């Protein structure tokens, strides 16, 4: 992330979902986060976006795709932070237990 500016306008990219090409506009920080998530999950970026799109369409009032992608990334980041906190607390408890 060091080579990218802290704030940048959205960048439009073409993605294929269920055989249909569409474009999505996201800020570069979100594109990088999606690429990292796809790599961590060992899945192609288009497949991850398609999975998030399917989850989005199950919502009672689905947001647009770009919004759903940002929300998914935020949820994942919160989950990672919660998991790290849980692991730290577990380690601390283990250190103080007799």
Q: pLDDT of 31-52, one tens digit each?
A: 999 999 999 999 999 999 999 9
Percent with pLDDT over 90 in the chain: 66
Can you give the pLDDT at residue 80?
A: 73
Mean of per-residue pLDDT scores for the chain:
85
pLDDT band at residue 6 using 50, 70 and 90 as cut-offs:
confident
Cβ atoms 66, 24 nearer than 8 A: yes
Largest alpha-carbon pair distance within the chain? 59
pLDDT at 2 over 90: no
Does the global pTM surpass 0.75? Answer: yes
Domains and CATH numbers, the chain: 11-96 (1.10.3990.20)
Could you tell me which of 13, 33, 38 has the C-alpha nearest to residue 24?
Answer: 13
- The C-alpha torsion from 48 through 69 and 76 to 30, rounded to 10°, is 100
CA separation for the pair 7, 34 (Å, rounded): 17
pLDDT band at residue 10 using 50, 70 and 90 as cut-offs:
very high
């Amino acid at each position: 992330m060091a080579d990218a500016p802290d704030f940048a306008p959205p960048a439009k990219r073409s993605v294929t979902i269920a055989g249909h090409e569409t474009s999505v506009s996201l800020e570069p920080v979100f594109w990088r986060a999606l690429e990292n998530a796809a790599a961590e999950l060992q899945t192609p970026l288009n497949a991850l976006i398609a999975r998030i799109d399917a989850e989005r369409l199950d919502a009672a009032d689905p947001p647009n795709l770009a919004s759903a992608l940002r929300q998914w990334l935020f949820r994942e980041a919160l989950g990672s932070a919660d998991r790290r906190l849980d692991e730290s607390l577990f380690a601390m408890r283990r250190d103080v237990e007799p």
